[in-house]
Amino acid sequence: MGDKKIITIIDKFAIVEANELCRLNAQVIKCTLCPRLSQYIRQVGHDKVKRFANEQYWARPLPSWGDPRARLLIVGLAPAAHGGNRTGRMFTGDSSGDWLARAMHETGLASMPTSRSRDDGLVLKDAYVTAAVRCAPPGNKPLPSELMNCSQYLVSELQLLGSVRVVLTLGKIGFDACCRATGAKGLVFAHGARYQVNGRVLLASYHPSRQNTNTGRLTWPMWLQVFTTARAIMEKFEKDGA
């Protein structure tokens, strides 16, 4: 089979995967499985906060986003009440989003170092962003039942994103969600921990929340190293032809 024919087949698979991801995102946006979360995100969008009083909040479950042919899948906790729940894009409009965008930009995974709005022109390269829970939970603490309800979407994404070689989990909730979605048992969360799971590398990091970054629990060098490591693993997969 010629190289051009192989590329054509790969492109067709990529189109199918992208379409399936779009359909999945459409289901996510309409999801009402968790009454507590549905009510909360609508209330936050109605009440707002003073600094965003003139903005129209998204106030719906958030779709995932990024490159459908990504080799890196990033799994966060949940949208922030006045970040993603306001802007309509995960890790957008808050400090966590800027930490993520800056690190991805410095490692060649994003077109710009900031993430402010869903129409700011940010494009991800070889990376796809999702979360354990698609609605902002009160106090950033989803209930076990809400995590379970949302798990179906992560399971589907892990199946659809066939090019993914590294799954980077941000925080213990994201890590545990990935373990449940992949059926991995007995894995222990720790910053920088690395595991082989179903032919992929599961990589763990502290979440870039203010609680971690302002206290020094997660420093910028620590954070950037996670992405440098992820990039190196991806390149090794490529070199080995996996």
**Sheet arrangement for strand 200-205:** 65-66, 127-131, 72-76, 166-170, 200-205, 194-197
Give the pLDDT band of residue 213 (cuts 50, 70, 90): very high
Report helix, strand or coil for 95. Answer: helix
SS3 162: coil
Instruction: List pLDDT tens digits, range 153-165.
Output: 999 999 999 999 9
Domains and CATH numbers, the chain: 3-240 (3.40.470.10)
pTM, to two decimals: 0.92
Question: Could you tell me if 28 and 92 are in contact, meaning their C-beta atoms sit under 8 angstroms apart?
Answer: no
**What pLDDT score does 7 carry?**
40
**Contacts for 40-46: CB closer than 8 Å, 24+ residues apart:** 40/135, 40/136, 40/137, 40/138, 41/81, 41/85, 41/135, 41/136, 44/81, 44/82, 44/85, 44/136, 45/85, 45/86
Q: What is the pLDDT of residues 95-104, one digit of tens each?
A: 999 999 999 9
Mean pLDDT of 16-44: 95
